[in-house]
Structure 1
Amino acid sequence: MRSRSVRALITAVAAAACLSLSQAPSAAPPAVPDLGPYVSVFGPTTPRAVIQRKVDEVFRRQERDQFGAGRQALLFKPGTYDVDVNVGFSTQVAGLGMSPDDVVVRGAVHAEADWRQGDATQNFWREAENLSVTPASGADRWAVSQAAPYRRMHLRGDLRLDDGGWASGGFLADSRVDGRVRSGTQQQWLTRDSSLGGWTGGTWNMVFVGVRNAPAGTFPHPPYTRVERAPRVREKPFLYVDRAGAYRVFVPGLRTAARGTSWERGARQPGSSRPLDRFLVVRPGTRTDRIQAALARGKDLLLTPGVHHLDRTLRITRPGTVVLGLGLATLVPDRGTSALSVADVDGVRVAGLLVDAGPVASPALMEIGPPGARRRHDRDPVSLHDVFFRIGGAGVGRAVRTLVVNSSDVIGDDLWLWRADHGSGIGWTANTASEGLVVNGDRVTLYGLFVEHYQRRQTVWNGEDGRTYFFQNELPYDPPSQAAWSHGTARGYPAYEVGGRVARHEGWGLGSYGHFTADPRVVADRAFAAPRRAGVRFHHLVTVSLGGTGTIRHVVNDTGGPSDAITNVAYLRSYP
């Protein structure tokens, strides 16, 4: 028989073991990662006054800071918030849930144009993502132009896309709007894979791809283009907090024949989740060689808000690498190199970046695949999401080309390539850039392509089986003369040129605008150029002479038009 002391010891040990298994305090929550000084993370227990004070402080700093170095990310953990978020320049507002409905904002998440008396044509570089918003007034406003995505949102009310003056946006994707979208003075807009309560209005070019309850009407009156499904699409990666409080990145998978959102009604979202320790968290000032070494070790990249100067090209060589920017993280190649190059590999995602050209001309600011790339990537393509380029505006910047796509099967999802027409360091001989987008790969699909003001061709497409769903372009404002902007016997350069050897290409909802302020006598002979073949087809095109300043003689080749001081707008339903 055991002694009482031994029995007591055994009992105590057993009790302790039981406590450790079922009654011990849970493990400490995961530590909040250091995402740098320009990321603000709010939780549902954060006092409302604290959140509102920070949000207002960021907006006051960023409302007019169009070309400044400030970058901000305002992130909300799952929960409910009574707050009014006015979104200024270079600011990302995002929820940290797996679904937009995990983060509920009762108030507003909106973009206004008060700083320009209602003119929203310069409301660039801002993002609203992964939130559910119940607007206090019953309607929210997102009065924006390019590079201002409204993505993965659930708006429980109406959405207004203008602020009384002109607006020149825009992009809405993977979102649900319970009420009506009122486009107002928006000149053009792409809505992709979303659900709408209704849509009102339209100026020149409104495109709906994979949209439930897209508006009815026949182009060009109203100017609606409807495509029932998105053939191949992938959503943007996003940062979220899991149930244990750990930060992770969700990497969406490929969707085919997509229609409506990826997340509604508890849908299982295709894709996978990656822990944050798989990422190098890159802060401004991190040396380029350290970033490259992390990539070589198999790391992904999470770039925090700020301006990241590069002394060499960042080279992505590992299949499946994710490069995700927060708060419009900005890359600047200081020494005339590319900012980023991607090898001819599967599944790379590049998202949420602004690339600013440096003062030394880069051959290209970004290159996807090397010249001559021939591999197929149809099962796991490279995809680009909310990737924006700027040449000039923030200072002198130069590049020969901006984005070159050599790999096949690439998906582009909201791209803006911009040679600046205002700001600092601009002029015909200052922010020089010959071409915007060059596509050499086959089966490349683009949703939301914005390309503006390049000195020669805006977009050149040499690959087979390319598809563009929505194209918005402004030709260069500043050719000093017709002689300075001509080639051979042709006046001007086309905005969108399909190579003469291409047998199959298709585009839906394509628009090009002319506004030749340096010399209003300048003429562009055509906005679109393509071989006349049965396999090369365009649906719903528009050209505009903005204010009647300058002339676009024809829409495609020698067909359609003109757009000039007498006939400002020309439509073409199809070509050939």
Structure 2
Amino acid sequence: MGFNSDRHFVDERFAILFAPGTYTGIDIEVGYYVQLAGLGAKAGDVVFKDCERGPFVEALNKHHIVGGRPGLSLDTFWRAAENFRTEATQGQLWAVSQAAPLRRVDIAGPLLLHDNGAQASGGHLANARVAGPVDFGSQQQWLARSVEFGGGVTLGAWSMVFTDCTGRVPEPSAGAADAPAVTVDAAPALTVEKPFVALRPDGRFELRVPAPRQRRAEGPAAAAAAAAGPLGPDLEGADDDVRGFERVFVARAGEMAGAAAARINAALAEGKDVVLSPGVYHLEAPVVVSRPNQVVLGLGLATLVAPPTGEPCLRVAARTPGVRVAGLMLEASVIPPAEERGFTATLLEWGEEEEEGPEGAAAATPRRRTGQQREEGNNPFEAVATFFSSVLAPAVGQPGAEARGATKDPGDPGNPGVLTDVFARVGGSNPDRRVATDVMVRLHAGHLYGDNLWLWRADHVALRAGEAPNFPPLDYHQVVLGECPCATGLEVCGDDVTLHGLAVEHTQGDQVVWRGERGEVQFYQSELPYEADAAFGRGGHAGYRVAPGVARHRAAGVGVYSNFRDHEVPVAAAVRHEGGRPGVVFENAFTVLLNNKGLIRSVVNGRGGPAAEKGKPVRLRLGEEEGGCCVS
């Protein structure tokens, strides 16, 4: 069921669900597109014991020696395990990379996040208790959120972020070329756990929606909340909102051919929550959530394939607080060119784009032509450069947040919208390399919270029938110029948006554009596009951009990497904030040359760098500043 890389781009999806009870002698590998989950109201209601490994993920292709180690964990994507206790004698092995969360688990022994040092690029551990030691080993970077560490911690390679963690949490550190940075946020303003399905003693299912845990406060109250320290994991669920399945629509992909969106939207219009059973849902129109507090939960990495119109897989209506979207994969389709559709194509749209501000002033995100709009044969990176110059330059003269406040959707600070384990991709499983979107995810509403997002423009895709790899000995087809176009992974227009665990990779323009005020990111990982040519550098693109005019923003544990396979591509800065302000802060920002050509010349706004030595992170030091943009 997905034990090796041959299943990298299959269409099967699986959820392995365990009723409350104790399971002995079970060792089960969690493969591609598999979610293993307990069905208890408490994490301890499902127990694996008298076994060696319980649920586990090991490195792939261990018959190959890579970097002196057997196998690789760089491709152990798209899988999940949650809501159980393990007493496995060898501890918990979870040697994964992106889009492979381990959450709501109680681990009685050690936790190994690598397999004998095989290279790995994770990862996300959330709402967990680990009694034994935790070994990050060969992990390049990792986020631990709301984790209780009972034993010691062996750090990984480049960047380790600890948010709302208790116990034996490592001390903060700025890191070095041969030592990881350690970022610690002991008292985040907000954490929200993922909704999940549980089984009642009478055999009926229920949907449990954890309550937000907030520290949002000003003045002395904020100081008192911070002084109280981290909250740590919630494995009991005492404050969950428990909803019976009589108000839940369970979607089944095999029963919805040609009408998936219509069936799902009919249930949402009735006010029901939606649980998507494992499968691939080819949408004829967007799924639309328009009522407060509704839940759309995917099981077994349920996958929504975007409509062929360029509209998103999922749209959350404006001014709809408390919506939860969790456990979903979002995939791009082949769509019409921009001049035919006349709007920005996305995979997820939360809220509505502003049309105009007070007294007709232009708002922060005007209607615009998209990065896909270009004449046939033009360089895609030149086209994207034009797109961004037209979008970002006017922002300098636009009204500030105060002037725009009346037109923006502020969200509800007491009832935030939440995205958990949402993974988007442009290219991959579809052998048609014309699949496209402009922006994978756009967040217009305020007071949103995200926990574990991976937004991936493919660097490699499935082979067509009879096709050989174009860059042997690498498997699959490696993406080249013009294939799987996408300008940006994430665009944030709303204020007060918090993300814990964000990875955005390989888009043809800025990977992230952040326009809203008071945004916060704990943990960011990004690779720039492999196939880029010099036009990417000339366009001034960055791995993370805070738009001009933003006064307050904070991002911690920010890593941007380069691996320019085909061309020399000098990139001015990994992170950019033109006209930087003191309220825009980057903590433990760094860049790494992974391999091949080109280089990133600086870390933030021309400071730090260049990253010229393979595998050696280049970091900014405490107190460095550039143009008023604080770096700590």
TM-score range, shorter chain: 0.7 to 0.9
1:559 equivalent among 599, 607, 631: 607
Q: Tell whether 2:444 aligns with 1:406.
A: yes
Code of the aligned partner of 2:56: H
Output the CA distance in 1 between the equivalents of 2:604 and 2:303: 36
1:413–1:448: 8 Å Cα contact kept in structure 2? Answer: yes
Q: Quick one: which amino acid aligns to residue 151 of structure 1?
A: R
Residue 280 of structure 2 corresponds to residue 307 of structure 1: yes
* Pairing 1:416–2:454 present: yes
Alignment of 1:176-195 (within 5 A): 176-195=129-148
What pairs with 1:191-270 in structure 2 (closer than 5 Å)?
191-196=144-149, 197-212=151-166, 213-220=168-175, 221-257=179-215, 259-264=230-235, 269-270=238-239
From 528, 541, 563, the equivalent of 1:515 is: 563
Residue 455 of structure 1 aligns to a residue whose secondary structure is coil
* 2:267 alignment partner, SS class: helix
Task: Find the aligned partners of 1:559 and 1:359 in 2 and give their Cα distance.
Answer: 40
- Residue type of the alignment partner of 1:110: F
Determine helix, strand or coil for the equivalent of 2:299.
Answer: strand
- Which of the numbers 252, 266, 269 marks the counterpart of 1:283? 252
Matched residue count: 509
Q: Which residue of 1 aligns with 2:365?
A: none
Partner of 1:19: none
Question: Secondary structure of 1:277's match?
Answer: helix
For the pair 1:294 / 2:248, whether they are aligned, the reply is no
- Counterpart of 1:379 in structure 2: which amino acid? G
- Give structure 1 stretches of 5+ with no counterpart: 1-57
Residues 96 and 312 of structure 1: is their aligned pair in 2 closer, same or farther, counting only changes over 3 Å? same
Partner of residue 98 from structure 1, selected from 41, 48, 71: 41
1:453-532, aligned counterparts within 5 Å? 453-479=506-532, 481-483=533-535, 485-487=537-539, 490=540, 493-519=541-567, 521-530=568-577, 531-532=579-580
Question: 1-side partners of 2:231 and 2:104: how far apart?
Answer: 11
Does the aligned pair in 2 maintain the 1:419–1:452 contact within 8 Å? yes
Contact 2:148 2:233 in 1 (8 A): no
In the alignment, is the contact (CA less than 8 A) between 1:547 and 1:565 conserved in 2? no
Q: Map of 1:407-446 to 2, 5 A cutoff? A: 407-424=445-462, 426-446=479-499
CA distance in 1, matches of 2:288, 2:239: 27
More strand by share: 1
CA distance in 2, matches of 1:222, 1:168: 14
In the TM superposition, residue 568 of structure 1 has moved relative to its aligned partner by: 3.6
2:87 match: secondary structure:
strand
Q: Quick one: percent identity of the two aligned structures?
A: 40
Distance in 2 between the 1:157 and 1:64 partners? Answer: 31
Deviations 1:249-305 (CA, angstroms, capped at 9, x unpaired):
1001110248344435xx563231011121111111422212211111111110000
Does the alignment pair 1:74 with 2:16?
yes
Structure 1 residue 560: Cα displacement: 0.7
Deviation at 1:546, TM superposition (A): 0.5
Whole-Å separation in 2 of the counterparts to 1:556 and 1:176: 35
Letter in 1 for 2:214: T
Cα deviation digits, residues 413-448 of structure 1 (max 9, x gap): 000000011123733212000011000000000000
Structure 2 distance, partners of 1:268, 1:159, is: 23
CA deviations 1:390-419 (Å, max 9, x no partner) are: 110112321011000000000000000000
Q: Deviations over 1:198-253 (max 9, x none)?
A: 21022111000011121125221442111112211110000001232210010011
Written as runs of structure 1 = structure 2, the 5 A alignment for 1:151-162 is 151-162=103-114
Give, in angstroms, the shift of residue 550 of structure 1. 2.3
Question: Which whole-Å CA distance do the structure 2 matches of 1:263 and 1:293 have between them?
Answer: 34
**Residue 121 of structure 2 corresponds to residue 168 of structure 1:** yes
The answer to whether the Cα contact below 8 Å between 1:195 and 1:260 also exists between their aligned partners in 2 is: no
Shift of 1:484: 5.2
Partners of 1:466 and 1:222 lie apart in 2 by: 25
2:326 aligned partner: 351
Q: d(CA) in 1 for partners of 2:232 and 2:18?
A: 21
In the TM superposition, what is the alpha-carbon distance from 1:502 to its structure 2 partner? Answer: 0.3
Structure showing greater Rg: 1
1:109 positional shift: 1.0
- Between the aligned partners of 1:374 and 1:392, the Cα distance in structure 2 is 32
Tell me how far apart the structure 1 counterparts of residues 416 and 55 of structure 2 sit (CA, whole Å). Answer: 33
Task: Tell me if 1:321 matches 2:287.
Answer: no
Aligned to 1:85: 28
Amino acid at match of 2:424: F
Q: Could you tell me how far apart the structure 2 residues matched to 1:533 and 1:391 are?
A: 34
Instruction: Report SS of the residue matched to 1:145.
Output: coil
Pick which of 542-551 and 85-94 moved more.
542-551
TM-score w.r.t. structure 2 length?
Answer: 0.78
Q: Deviations over 1:101-149 (max 9, x none)?
A: 1100122111011335420000000001001011122x22100000000
1:42-89 Cα shifts (integer Å, max 9, x gaps): xxxxxxxxxxxxxxxx345x7631111010000001110020011100
Which runs of 5 or more structure 2 residues have no equivalent in the other structure? 65-70, 216-228, 337-343, 355-407, 463-476, 623-629
**SS at 1:327 equivalent:** coil
Alignment of 1:381 onto 2:416? yes
Where 1:472 maps in the other structure, the secondary structure is strand
Cα distance in structure 1, aligned partners of 2:544 and 2:601: 15
Equivalent position of 1:534 in the other structure:
582
Q: How far is 1:485 from its partner? A: 4.7
Q: Distance in 1 between matches of 2:60 and 2:317?
A: 44
SS of the equivalent of 1:555 reads coil
User: What's the CA shift for 1:337?
Assistant: 1.7
Match of 1:333 in 2: 306
CA separation in 1, counterparts of 2:597 and 2:47? 46
The higher relative CO (CA closer than 8 Å, separation ≥ 6) is in 2
Residue aligned with 1:507, SS: strand
Q: Matched residue of 2:61: which SS?
A: helix
Q: Structure 1 CA distance, aligned partners of 2:75 and 2:237?
A: 38
3-state SS of paired residue (1:399): coil
**1:447-505 CA distances to partner (integer Å, 9 max, x unpaired)?**
000000000000000000000000000011111x2035522xx4xx1111001110010
Paired residue for 1:368, among 309, 332, 350?
350
Q: 1:268 to 1:283 in 2, by over 3 A?
A: closer
Partners of 2:10 and 2:39 in 1: how far apart?
27
